[in-house]
Chains A and B, each alone.
Chain A
Amino acid sequence: MKKIVMKFGGTSVATGENIRHVANLIADHAGEDCRVVVVVSALDGVTDQLIQVAEEAKKRKSEYIRDFKQKILARHLSAADEAIEDKQVKEEVEQVLKARVDELEQVLKGIGYVSELTPKTRDTVLSFGEKLSAPIVSGVLKDIGLKSQYLTGGEAGIVTDSNYGEAGLLMNVTKYQVKKKIEPQLKEGAIPVITGFIATTQDGETTTLGRGGSDYTATIMGAALAADEVWIWTDVDGLMTSDPKIVPSAKTISKLAFEEATELTIFGAKAMHPRALEPARNENIPVRIRNVFDPKNPGTLISKNHEVKTKDGVKAVTLVNNVAVITVSGAGMVGAPGTAAKVFDVLGRENINILMISQSVSESNISLVIQRSLLERAVSTLDIHLLGRDFIREVEPEDDVCVVAVLGAGMKGMPGVASRIFTAVAKEGINVRMIAQGSSELNVSFVVKETDGEETVRAIHKEFKLDKK
């Protein structure tokens, strides 16, 4: 008997019609030989609305809360009405929705009374998005004749620490509890519908999983239940060789190693957060990214390294915009141990994250790539703390740049990849300003003028024939 965890994102469950479609997809796969565990996000846009209403509630805007309550209830009721035919099932779902929205209203009023929104309360508010979507999805499954039960992440057994807003998982406790709670349901042939993104502490307080959200819940469930695969249903075909807006011939990548997927998602592929891949990677459970609106497409399969052919070399090329370069230079830096540490320390204290670093062996300058919005702050803090201290003579910012990242596990130990990349770039007459490659050789990143960014990506995409694979 196979076990598959299926996660459906916000757009997949945006309307009643979509939810009906999702339920049919689940029905296509669920059966005697394949058990399905469903993880759902909030209806598209609801989480953002909850974030906003939580802030407004703090200002005691009771009218705003009342309006919001009506609006959110109406949206979920109409989704349920559209998706569920059976009268009794529909009524049951409506009862649950009404009760939960009432509960939400109480929480929001409470925030208004104390004019305070703690991270803990905020998590409680945010949890309602999924708490409202799961009963609908579960109801629709019942409506089409399947056995189903909706659960919150906490009810399903996911336990975290009390770091509200970005709670840390207690993986072993979670595994133990999830098995105990979900396996009996699977045996009975029921389909558990679990709220993504939310969990509880050991004391039963609601927490949220932060970055990675519902995808994370899905891989946690997959790891805990030793699932055969985790399917992330989304609104794109999978991870692509490049951004199709830049390279119209970009293709879906059929297979990727976890390491590659991690790199790719860090560099802006919005399909999945790298953190969400961790549980699956640790337990070696393949993750498949599929398009809910094109279920015939096999999507992208992310699995353990050795199962993916490594001869392919380069797999993808991405463009990272909104970055800036800072070059710190001075002859005094040569052979002065600790210079780099001081630079990083100064930036670290200002909470400035460094995306890319390069220093030549002459040591007379260090170039850093940071987020562009932080450029002025970074320059100022370097000026104040280090400029004029003998070793650093200049701090030069450049904000008309972008980073191109070329990645693929196959580049490792394969001579000539870098040469092909830079020859392709040079042929376009584009100047490379800064290069970095980690010794893992999973990716080569380099900086070019912002205006040359898209051209560079296209040139590399073409050179490695990524559109032909």
Chain B
Amino acid sequence: MRIILVGWGVVGQGFAQILLRRKMELVKDYGFRPRIVAVVDKEGAIIDPKGLDLEQMLSLKAEKGTISTKSKNGCLGRSALDVMESMEAEALVEVTPTNIKDGEPALSHIKTAFKTGKHVVTTNKGPLALALPALTELADYNNVQLRFSGTVGAGTPVLEFAKKCLVGDSILSIQGILNGTTNYILSEMDEKHISFQEALKDAQKLGYAEANPTMDVDGLDAAAKLVIMANWIMHKKVTLKDVKIKGIRDVTPEDLEDAAAKGSTIKLVGSIEENLKVEPTQISRHDPMAVGGALNAVTFVSEFAGEQTIIGRGAGGLETASAILRDLLDIKENIASKMIA
């Protein structure tokens, strides 16, 4: 399978590392032979229709900071859209940073991939939170597939668990801690009795939070994930506008102490019932969802199988990249079985 990789940050490089490490097993166990024919980042592209040497690519980035300069197949300034329109490939892997305002440039990347007949695997929440119903329709119309397992729970198979493991059952509601950064901050505030500001500073020092933490602490990241789950798992045609969002800036150490007195704690919980909302919520310390640190946890309430909670790391380059690989294998399996039938 020929793949155009757009985005060469931690996730993009993590994906390359996994492909390198699992090369033999992928062919032997899954008949999967991925070839990255182009990598595009902000500065330009590097291409090879036969497949790029990933080892060399990884060391290039480490040495020179960017991939498109100085290398033999590099084309400085070449855009992802141009690469997608001019190069043959079966799939686009879109791992550019999330933009929650208008979803760009990822939204254009995905639409162009569809138009040029490419399947899409993305870890970018922006386009999905803003336009998932439109994108799935466009994918169907162009007879290609759209996968985005890595958008929720990183490597933890949250979406697949609901979609595949609970197949046949009806999922009534979903509740979850969907953002690792805020969970880390709240856990720290709870354990160390410190203020939000102090906990945020610690988190930024440790690399759990961005310099501009708005996406995380104001609940937007969790809300975007909620939208994706509502669409994909519960077939609700909703976008980010439909979510009631409240972040954790106003949570005080006193709130947490009050909750602790009742045997509870405060978590930033996203829930899908009648409506979609993200807000700081008191939950029992014995609730399986009450996980510490930067972990994520999602509880599904299904009609027959009851409650299940899936817990795992919710961020990380390799973790998210592992979801991309699962998605690609799923796509291959789907097209191959269609063919045989």
The residues of A with any CB-CB pair to B shorter than 8 Å are: 342, 345-346, 349, 376-377, 380, 383-389, 392, 395
Residues of B near any A CB (own CB < 8 A)? 1-2, 27, 29-33, 35, 37, 49-50, 88, 90, 332, 335-336, 339-340
Docked Cα-Cα span, A235 to B130, in Å, equals 64
B33 and A387 within 8 A (CB): yes
Are A384 and B1 also in contact (CB < 8 A) when A346-B339, A389-B31, A389-B340 are?
A: yes
- Determine the chain A residues whose CB is within 8 A of the CB of B2 once the complex forms: 376, 380
CA distance A392 to B2 in the complex (A): 19
**A154 to chain B: closest CB distance in Å?**
39
Quote the shortest CB–CB distance from B236 to chain A (angstroms): 32
When chains A and B are docked, how far (Å) is the Cα of A349 from the Cα of B335? 13
5 closest cross-chain pairs (CB), A and B: A388-B31, A387-B31, A385-B339, A383-B33, A380-B2
Nearest residue (CB) in B for A377 is B88
Complex Cα–Cα for A389 and B1 (A): 15
Residues of A near B35 (CB, < 8 A) are 380
Residue of B nearest to A390 (CB): B31
A387 touches B50 (CB 8 A): no
A387 partner, pick from B32, B88, B335, beta carbons under 8 A = B32
A-B contacts besides A384-B90, A386-B336, 9 pairs, CB < 8 Å: A346-B339, A377-B88, A380-B90, A383-B33, A385-B336, A385-B340, A386-B31, A387-B33, A389-B340
The answer, among A346, A349, A377, A383, for a CB contact under 8 Å with B31, is A383
Contact residue among A342, A349, A376, A384 (Cβ-Cβ distance under 8 Å from B49): A376
Closest chain B CB from A95 CB (angstroms):
47
| Least CB distance, B6 to chain A, in whole angstroms | 18
- Chain B residues contacting A392 (CB-CB under 8 Å) are 31
Interchain CB contact under 8 A, B33 and A376 = no
| Min distance, Cβ A40 to any Cβ of chain B, angstroms | 39
**Cα separation A346 to B88 with both chains bound (whole Å):** 17
CB distance from A147 to the nearest CB of B (A): 56
Instruction: Decide if A388 touches B32 in the complex (CB within 8 Å).
Output: yes
CB nearest to A380 among chain B residues = B2
CB neighbours (8 Å) of A380 from chain B are: 1-2, 35, 90
Q: A380 vs B31: C-alpha distance in the bound complex, in angstroms?
A: 11
- Distance in angstroms from A83 CB to nearest chain B CB is 45
How far apart are the CA atoms of A385 and B340 in the complex, in Å? 8
User: Considering the chains assembled together, what is the distance between the CA atoms of A389 and B333 in angstroms?
Assistant: 10
Can you spell out 25 A-B residue pairs with CB atoms less than 8 angstroms apart? A345-B339, A349-B339, A376-B2, A376-B50, A377-B88, A380-B2, A380-B35, A380-B90, A383-B1, A383-B33, A384-B90, A384-B332, A384-B335, A384-B336, A385-B335, A385-B336, A385-B340, A386-B336, A387-B31, A387-B33, A388-B27, A388-B29, A388-B31, A388-B32, A389-B31
Cross-interface CB contact of A388 among B30, B37, B339, B340, cutoff 8 Å: B30
The residue in A345, A349, A383 that gathers the most chain B C-beta atoms within 10 A of its C-beta is A383
CB distance from B120 to the nearest CB of A (A): 15
**Chain B's nearest CB lies how many Å from the CB of A232?**
38
Q: How far, in angstroms, from A139 to B340 measured CA to CA in the complex?
A: 63
Which residues of chain A have C-beta atoms less than 8 A from B335's C-beta? 384-385
* CB neighbours of B1 from chain A (8 A): 380, 383-384
- The residue of chain A having its C-beta at the shortest distance from the C-beta of B35 within the complex is A380
Q: Determine if A376 and B88 form an interchain contact, defined as CB atoms under 8 angstroms apart.
A: yes
Name the residue of chain A whose CB is nearest to the CB of B89: A380
Minimum CB–CB distance from B143 to chain A (whole Å) comes to 12
Bound CA span A76–B340, Å: 58
Task: Give Cα distance in the complex from A387 to B32, angstroms.
Answer: 7
Contacts of B339 in A (CB 8 A): 345-346, 349, 385
Cβ distance B84 to chain A, nearest Cβ, rounded Å? 16
Residues of B within 8 A of A388 (CB): 27, 29-32
Give the distance to chain A from B20, nearest Cβ to Cβ, in Å: 18
